[in-house]
Amino acid sequence: MGGRIWRSMWMRLAAIALVLAVAPVIIYLQLRAADAEQSALLRQSVAAQGRMIARGVETALDPAKLPELGKHLARFDTPRNEVRVLFRPSDDADRAFYFVGASPALPDADLEQERERLLATGAVADIGPGCGPGGPAGQVYDTVAGDRRIIASVVPLAKPEGCWVVILTREQFAGFGPDGAQPYWQSPEMIASGVIYVIMVGLVLLVFLSFRRDLRGFADAARRTARGEGGTRFLDQNRVPELDGVARAFDQMVSHLRRSAESLLRLSEENAHALKTPVGVIAQAVEPLRAMAAEDPRRRRSVELIEKAIERLDHLITVIRRSEETAAALVAPRLTPVDAGGLLRPVADDYRPIAEDRGIEVTVRSPGRVMALGNEELLRTAIENPVENALDLTPAGGRVELSLMTEESTGMIEIRVTDTGPGVADSQLEQIFDRRFSHREPGDGGHDGLGLWIVRRNMEAMGGAAHAEAGDEGGLAVVLRLPAARP
């Protein structure tokens, strides 16, 4: 059972969905960790670059050379890098930093405002009297020109005249930005990857749904074939080229079954005709013998035995023909709307003379016309068998009831054949449907244990079911269930 569940298409889809849900999370966590490591390495590289720039301009950091400071800073000017230089004189009691240089150069009117914005970031707040250590990096600030930049490095340089601070700022770009400024999943590459992944998942689901639609088409074709609807071909229902071979094989199998059923029907007709012809000849030949034996008791008795044997043989031929027709219906059952309610009364009428001879009452309880989806020949046989059993086992004065009801909630009809006979032990209620099983006393001839087995076989061939249960008044109730025909 467990293996069957795991082979279910829905279970496989659930497994695929689980993989599609978990795999992106695992990959995302790995990529985020790699991105964080890359960003850390990039920060370290930028910080090292800031220290190199500070060392490169260190010789120009002299109050006497301030007019030439801009030229030295211009050597390190790049589209992404901007350098700011602050200076705090050693004899300044206020320990205030002054803006002394920038690359690219700033208008004199903007110098004080740029200084205030840099100081507001706290980049030089931790630089003590000894001109160290360097302040934290990573702060974002808006320049006077209106650009948003990141402080990449803060390098203090102590000299006799005071404390110089070289600040490297960079524009924000992928992999370099303030901590927590943007979740990794909001990065452009992750958004693009997410869009591609969603499209891929959608394509997978479309393929699965398309395959499921074709399987449902196969199932619909199978149901229509089971109902005997001609013209239904599996190949016409298939939309997957790879399944064309399977569809053709199904069509060939159905065609073979239908030809086999037709052959069985023709054979039953031919056999019945071939057997009834000599029986009819024998019956006609007995007529003069009856007249000749009228005065002789022994001869008359012999003629009567011959006539009874002829009747029995004729009955057996009819039974054999019906059995062959039933077998043909089982090979390729043609399911059509059958008036189950209208079928009960003729069956009861057929068996009522036998029941009256035995002192048994036969009743029918039916709402009238109730259409079931089935095969009339198979259904009639399935009803007759339990009726015959009930009449054999019900004592004189008993009752056999044929009833029918519909179940709106399940879309099924239910036929019950109930008797007031001895009933069956609970342990044998299922066993009585086994082939060759009989719960009657040994020596009770004429019963080979096939009746109820045929009943269940016929019902299942029509998409129904059969079971037995204890009757309300004792005895046995054989329950036949069949799908109701759609209006």
Residue 379 three-state SS: helix
Helices 376-393 and 451-461: crossing angle in degrees, nearest 10, is: 150
Reported as a pLDDT band with limits 50, 70 and 90, residue 414 is: very high
pLDDT of residue 166: 92
Token pair 């009856």 is found at 290
Query: What 3-state DSSP class applies to 436?
Result: coil
Residue 225 has pLDDT above 70, yes or no: no
pLDDT tens-digit map of 168-184: 988 865 555 555 456 77
**375/326 Cα distance (integer angstroms):** 10
Classified as helix, coil or strand, 226 is helix
CB 477, CB 471: distance < 8 Å: yes
Greatest mean pLDDT range, 133-142, 168-177, 255-264, 466-475: 466-475
Percentage, residues of the chain above pLDDT 70: 85
Q: Where are the domains of the chain?
A: 57-171, 254-331, 336-483
Which tens digit of pLDDT belongs to each residue from 360-390?
Answer: 999 999 888 889 988 888 889 899 989 988 9
Strand order in the sheet with 476-483: 361-365, 399-407, 412-419, 476-483, 465-470
CB atoms closer than 10 angstroms to residue 40: 10
Q: Is the per-residue pLDDT at 417 higher than 90? A: yes
And the tokens for 332? 């390729």
pLDDT value of residue 210: 78
**How much is the pLDDT for 203?**
86
* 268 against 283, higher pLDDT: 283
> For the domain 336-483, what is the CATH superfamily, name and number?
Histidine kinase-like ATPase, C-terminal domain (3.30.565.10)
Average pLDDT value for residue range 476-482: 93
CA torsion 338-340-344-346 (nearest 10°) is -20
% of residues, the chain, pLDDT over 90: 14
Average pLDDT across the chain, whole number? 81
Q: What is the pLDDT of residue 361?
A: 93
Cα–Cα distance measured from residue 471 to residue 468, given in angstroms and rounded to the nearest whole number: 9
Q: What is the dihedral of CA 188, 191, 196, 202, to 10 degrees?
A: -170
Strand order in the sheet with 98-103: 98-103, 81-89, 162-171, 148-159, 140-142
Q: Is the pLDDT of residue 254 over 50?
A: yes
The pLDDT value given to residue 18: 83
pLDDT, greater one: 168 or 226: 168
- DSSP type of residue 73: H
The pLDDT value recorded for residue 147 is 86
Q: Which two three-digit tokens encode residue 96? A: 């205030």
CA distance 25 to 4: 30
* pLDDT score for 376: 86
In angstroms, the CA 393 to CA 128 distance is 114
Asked if the model's pLDDT at residue 253 lies above 70, the reply is: yes
Give pLDDT, residue 164.
Answer: 92
Q: What distance separates the 2 farthest-apart alpha carbons in the chain? A: 165
Mean pLDDT, rounded, for 305-329: 72
Q: What confidence score (pLDDT) does residue 108 get?
A: 85
Span 98-126, pLDDT tens digits: 999 998 888 888 889 999 988 888 888 88
178-187 contacts: CB < 8 A, separation 24 or more? 178/138, 178/139, 178/140, 178/150, 179/138, 181/140, 184/28, 184/31, 184/32, 184/35, 184/36, 185/28, 185/32, 187/35
Q: Which of 199-208, 216-225, 270-279, 318-327 has the highest average model confidence (pLDDT)?
A: 199-208
pLDDT at 70 (0 to 100): 85
Report d(CA 23, CA 204) in Å as an integer: 15
Q: What pLDDT does 446 receive?
A: 47
Overall pTM > 0.85: no
pLDDT score at 383: 92
| 48-100 confidence digits (pLDDT tens) | 888 888 888 888 888 888 888 888 888 887 778 889 999 998 887 677 889 99
Strand partners, 154: 167
Q: In this predicted structure, what is the pLDDT of residue 275?
A: 73
